[in-house]
Chain A
Amino acid sequence: MVRTFDAGYFECIVIGAGHAGCEAALASARMGVKTLILSINLDSIAMMPCNPSIGGTGKGHLVKEIDALGGEMGLNIDKSFVQSKMLNSSKGPAVHSLRAQADKHQYHTEMKKVLENTNNLYVKQAEVTSLIIEDHMIKGVITSIGSKYTCDVAVLSTGTYLGSTIFIGDAELRSGPNGLSGSYELVDSLNQYEFDLRRFKTGTPARVDKRSLNFDKMEVQWGDQDYELFSFMNDELRLDELPCWLTYTNNVTHEIILSNLDKSGLFTGAIEGTGPRYCPSIETKLQRFTDKPRHQLFIEPEGRDTNEMYVQGMSTSLSEDVQLAFMRSIPGMAQCEIMRPAYAIEYDCINPLMLNLSLELKSVKGLFSAGQFNGTSGYEEAAAQGLIAGINAALKFKGEEPLILDRSEAYIGVLIDDLVTKGTDEPYRMMTSRAEYRLVLRQDNADLRLTQKGYDIGLVKEDRYLRFQKKLEMIDKEYMRIQSVNLKMESLNNALASIESSPVTQGTKLIDILRRPEVFYKHLIAVDETRPNELTKDVIKQIEVSVKYEGYIKKQMQQIEKFKALEEKKLSYNINYNEIESLRLEARQKLMKIKPDSIGQASRISGVSPSDISVLLVYLEQQRRKNK
């Protein structure tokens, strides 16, 4: 036993400095709470141990929302990206998804700088080995060298470090990600407090030496020329773009992989953890989709100052010699040299049903958790939870109500509600199809949805708030204008003819002509004489979307109204569902375990039927009258 000593008091302690931990610590400190962030290694702050990119479908929405609330991820990727692309730009505005390739090292350095220069925030290198919990309340943490820090609230975000094992071929290494040490003693501490732990798995492909690749045999992949940024605070940034490359596997690759399956921990049974269906290893892909003649892989730069290239699509737990052999069968990779081999990693995480919607553990007051520890996968999912956990830890410390975003307000709300209401059997990844109110939860309007909320809790500062208000004002003014401006028939028909849109028979209101799916602001420059010069791209986008898709958006708003009515019927945490005999047994058990916050949340629990919900409504009314 190491001698422990008192190392000081912090109002909030954040354990882990990955994408969840960084957001949590920054939010808490910026809200005026004295915060300590602890990381096993300060050189791994905001490390990206897998893909060198931020955003993508669903994930890009999360980053925009984090930014709108006053989080850091959007600002940080804007400082460190090397290429950017709006995915789905040919589809509807609700599914446009921004994704940027990152310079990993720069991403880390910039985030570390921000942490180091934030008031109220203390950054320390230390491994937490146990939690101090008394009377179901968090009291502090103890580190591997005996430092004992006390606190009132804490955020647990251990990522893939917790109890982690690395698999490469038949090698099984007790190690954290990327050669860093894992966190093992903490597992015992969590078990002691009866955390419902489970084992998940994920993996990452190899990094190869750029000098060993022949790009002539691959297709070059550039980003958008007219790229957008993640943060609503940034208007324009200059970028020296780096390309990505596309190539494909072939029969030979597949044969090599299939004949070496016995050398993968996945198939020998060594790996027990549940992996995500959406990032299968290459060996899993080949086995499940035998008829696919080739699989694509993207070669992506890890940064500006390195020759390391990430081989997207080739995640594997096969041994390094097999990895090298199959990669060398791929066009452009014949001479390829591995710099870091691919690996699979297993780690401990909790059953997220242990959490409230605020991300506080039901069984430990003041202890919040976020990221992979909660059973998710992905930097953005982690950051989103980290932000909410940090905000709610700070609010808890101040004695204020938690910030809970619902499914109609944000992807973050969908993510957290899914986790704590339905749980998850595999690492959870955000997808736009998980959001039932997708048409309203667009990435372009994240600020309109959330910045006010961020301001109300004290996280959004004046500069951002002013920008936001100005934008709101401009949208209102422009909306008034397009309703009143009449375009003359002759000049309008000229503009319409140039884009093959059918002519009008009389002068037409600007708003009505913008309703046509094919007509955009840019087509009307010549006719729209009163258009104000200061109109920004952002404002135009909001107007175009709300005019063109008005019918659909209205329909969705009506659905949201119905949804809200049930969310607003709150269920007390103290209800003893076992005493409501009209509930079916399964419903009673589920409700006791999950303790939903509202009738709406209860209705999303599997095993709670519509008739159980009716019983709850009557029960609520009964209680209300009794209390009157």
Chain B
Amino acid sequence: MLFDTITAISTPIGEGAIGIVRISGPDAFPILSEIFKPIRSSSGILENRKMYYGHIVSDEKIMDEVMVVKLPSSGSYTMEDIVEINCHGGLMPLREILALILTKGARIADKGEFTKRAFLNGRIDLAQAESVMDLISAKTEIGFDIAMHQLKGHLSEKITKYRDILIALMAEIEVSIDYPEEDIEEITYSKIESTLTDLKEHLSVLIEKSKSGKIIREGLKTVIVGKPNVGKSSLMNALLKDSRAIVTEIPGTTRDVIEEYMNISGIPIKLIDTAGIRETEDVVEKIGVQKSKHYFNEADLIIFVLDASEVLTKEDHDLMELVKNKHAIVIINKTDLESKIEMAYINAVLVDKAIIKASVHNDLGIEALENEIKTMVFGNEVDMNHTDIISNTRHIQLVKDAEKNILEALSAVRSGMPYDFIEVDVKNAILNLGHVTGESVEEDLMNTIFSNFCLGK
């Protein structure tokens, strides 16, 4: 069999009532029987092409209520055994089920891979080949996949750092193998062991954090700012109404700052309406302002609202200065009224920002705003940085694989296996971490060997 088993979330990203996770390949049926407990099939045997109701179960724990169907290779889309799991919509259940399937040995599908297999296995006709290629090709790399590859910043630095530590370790091992007679102190088992143990700890922490799915629950921190009466609250309500959201008001917050949770095209967002950030002598108001500033500084994204029907005030000017260096979208509200605002000036100061003309009252500009948020998230402009959370299932799996490699290397160390056997798993760990950040081993290793050690005749 040329192909292994692949899986992916097959419904479009967004808040549908249901979502579908699909598995294709030789292990699709065995994986299903491991994770699915039907409610009414006493024998536990599932017939092909019949829908079954039951639970996805992990470690005896019910994860979701689902409907599943088995489609045998003879008539399936990919001409391989396919399983489709219909579960509750929303990213959380889908990702958790996907993650569970991955632990059972499936691999996350590449973009267009189901279709590619359909073609390679003779399901799709020749005329479609070009479009299959385009689908796979880099040209169409937009949308969700890019969002999934969001690894800028902190996390990527960490993974690179761990990988570098492993490469340095491997270089030391390789030097002792390829240059046995050089005047270089040979690496000891205890050093290998302590380096690997440390790294294992670090990776475990990353994996543990990713389980909490913090980003997914808390969402992209988005703060709405603007002077009073500019239309912030109406904007917030309009967005909430539009998003069929999981609206939850956090109790205990003061009226100074309102937090709402919503979801735009599957992007979880924590929307914060602030009291405003102006200079004030009023003690009570001061506390509110300080809080606002705090949120402002922590925000992943700012929505800055201006009133088109008024000339810019000092407060507007102050805010513009603050917003200038943040990821921000500018909303010019009340464009249904006569325009008095200095657009040329705004365009000049906020030159790199998206500026959207809106009339929230008339429901104008809301869609444009939503699209802009999507573009910024998928286009990598907003990185959910300052956090170590791996939110991408594929990356989580790679880090888990690397952790497993390190455990195997450690057990080789402890049973006194020769260096060249220990190295096998160290190398695999480097490969797996490299897949997260998109780097290969060979050149990096050679460079490390020759820059760290003095070798040669």
Contact = CB atoms under 8 A, between A and B. Distances in A.
Nearest to B181: A87
8 contacts: A278-B456, A279-B457, A295-B454, A517-B415, A552-B421, A584-B137, A611-B141, A618-B116
Given A296-B183, A614-B110, A91 B420 contact: yes
Given A582-B134, A615-B133, A313 B457 contact: yes
B178 A433 contact: yes
B457 A57 contact: no
Given A295-B183, A565-B2, A618 B120 contact: yes
Interface stretch (B12-20, B51-59, B124-132, B360-368): B124-132
Interface stretch (A324-332, A497-505, A619-627): A619-627
Interface of A: 50-51, 57-58, 87-88, 90-95, 97, 205, 248, 276-280, 285, 288-289, 292, 294-296, 298, 312-313, 315, 431-434, 438-439, 517, 549, 552, 555-556, 565, 580, 582-584, 609-612, 614-615, 617-619, 621-622, 625-626
A619 B417 CA distance: 45
A582 B177 contact: no
Nearest to A438: B420
Nearest to B438: A609
Contact of A622 (B129, B174, B417): B129
Contacts of A289: 454
Nearest to B170: A433
Contacts of B454: 280, 285, 288-289, 292, 295
Given A295-B183, A432-B177, A618-B116, A439 B136 contact: no
Contact of A92 (B113, B119, B182, B420): B420
A584 B120 contact: no
A57 B112 contact: no
A396 to B, nearest CB: 31
A218 B32 CA distance: 70
SS class, residues of chain B in contact with chain A: helix
B178 A621 contact: no
A54 B110 CA distance: 47
Given A615-B136, A621-B119, A622-B126, A92 B419 contact: yes
A279 B418 contact: no
Contacts of B112: 614
Given A57-B177, A622-B126, A582 B420 contact: no
A532 to B, nearest CB: 29
A504 to B, nearest CB: 18
Contacts, number: 133
A617 B119 CA distance: 10
Contacts of B132: 618
Kindly name the residue among A58, A91, A312 whose own CB sees the greatest number of chain B CB atoms within 10 A: A91
A614 B136 contact: yes
Contacts of A556: 424
B432 to A, nearest CB: 14
B300 to A, nearest CB: 29
Q: Which 7 A-B pairs have the closest CB atoms?
A: A92-B418, A582-B133, A582-B137, A92-B420, A289-B454, A622-B129, A277-B450
Contact of B180 (A51, A88, A295, A312): A88
Contacts of B449: 433
B142 to A, nearest CB: 13
B419 to A, nearest CB: 5
Contacts of B176: 91
Given A280-B454, A433-B178, 16 more contacts: A91-B180, A276-B456, A292-B454, A294-B183, A295-B183, A296-B183, A431-B174, A584-B139, A611-B137, A612-B137, A615-B133, A615-B136, A617-B116, A618-B120, A618-B132, A625-B126
Interface residues of B, number: 45
A618 B136 contact: yes
Interface in B407-443: 415-421, 424, 442
Contacts of A92: 417-421
B138 interface: yes
Given A517-B415, A609-B138, A617-B120, A549 B178 contact: no
B92 interface: no
Interface in B144-179: 174, 176-179
A612 B139 CA distance: 11
A92 B176 CA distance: 12
Contacts of A90: 418
Given A278-B450, A622-B129, A626-B126, A611 B457 contact: no
A432 B457 contact: no
Contact of A312 (B133, B136, B174, B457): B457
Contacts of A555: 424
A622 B133 CA distance: 10
Contact of A278 (B415, B416, B455): B455
B457 A95 contact: no
Contacts of B455: 277-278, 280
Nearest to A568: B2
A499 to B, nearest CB: 14
A615 B138 CA distance: 10
A51 B457 CA distance: 9
A549 B421 contact: yes
A312 B174 CA distance: 22
Contacts of A552: 421, 424
Contacts of B85: none
A611 B120 contact: no
B203 interface: no
B183 A91 contact: no
Given A87-B180, A292-B454, A617-B116, A582 B139 contact: yes
A507 to B, nearest CB: 25
Nearest to A285: B454
B417 A517 contact: yes
B137 A91 contact: no
B371 to A, nearest CB: 26
Contacts of A292: 454
B267 interface: no
A173 to B, nearest CB: 22
A95 B133 contact: no
B417 A621 contact: no
A264 B4 CA distance: 58
A565 B3 CA distance: 10
Given A295-B454, A582-B139, A583-B137, A58 B178 contact: yes
Nearest to A610: B110
A296 B180 CA distance: 13
Contacts of B130: 582
A91 B178 CA distance: 11
Contacts of A205: 457
Nearest to A622: B129
B2 A91 contact: no
Nearest to A436: B427
Kindly name the residue among A51, A88, A248, A292 whose own CB sees the greatest number of chain B CB atoms within 10 A: A88
A313 to B, nearest CB: 6
Contact of B445 (A93, A288, A433, A438): A433
A258 to B, nearest CB: 15
Nearest to A85: B181
B429 to A, nearest CB: 14
A555 to B, nearest CB: 8
A455 to B, nearest CB: 30
A584 B138 contact: yes
Nearest to B419: A91
A280 B457 CA distance: 7
A432 B182 CA distance: 16
Contacts of B450: 277-278
Given A609-B138, A622-B126, A280 B456 contact: yes
Nearest to A279: B456
Nearest to B141: A611
A223 B120 CA distance: 57
Contacts of B134: 582
B456 A95 contact: no
Contacts of A50: 457
Contacts of B415: 517
B416 A57 contact: no
